[in-house]
Amino acid sequence: MTALAIEVRRLAPTDLTAIETIERRAYRTPWSRSMFASELAKSTSVCVGAFEGERLVGYTISSRYVDAWHIMNVAVDPDYQRRGIATQLLQRIFELTESNRQRGYTLEVRISNEGALDLYERLGFEKRGIRRGYYTDNREDAVIMWREYLSDET
């Protein structure tokens, strides 16, 4: 597999069509365009995309809460998965939010998504609980994961 020249940068409203395309390819129950537009407009959200040239190939959406950054959505175009793009996206979120050291990071992931669970654990997330019947398409449980802010000294 060839290495990709990926640039991770903030998403803009002009990226919505590309975001929707990836979302529909990556998930059985995709977010709506208005959900993405709302997050992009919020001052408490950090939304970044991975671009190969001008082509969006992945993104993550996170939102600041009182005590945590909630990683709300991570998606990589299926043609680009397993190439480290999700790792780059999440590491960029960690960099952009490092000034909020008092906050940790949380997310939910399908209990059956072993690849994502492995990725999040490699990035320092720990399993903290289960949300029963969380996913509306099949009532699958979600694993709640948490990551403390990790400084360079850790």
68, 104 Cβ separation under 8 angstroms: yes
Instruction: Give the SS3 label for residue 65.
Output: coil
Q: Of 120, 121, 134, 140, which is the active-site residue?
A: 120
CA 127/CA 47 separation, integer angstroms = 24
Crossing angle of helices 16-26/33-41, nearest 10°? 130
Query: What's the sign of the alpha-carbon dihedral 56, 75, 34, 38?
Result: negative
Q: Of 52, 108, 114, 121, which is the active-site residue?
A: 108
Active site residue 27: no
CA 147/CA 122 separation, integer angstroms = 11
CA 137/CA 101 separation, integer angstroms = 36
Active site residue 120: yes
Provide the annotated active-site residues.
Answer: 108, 120
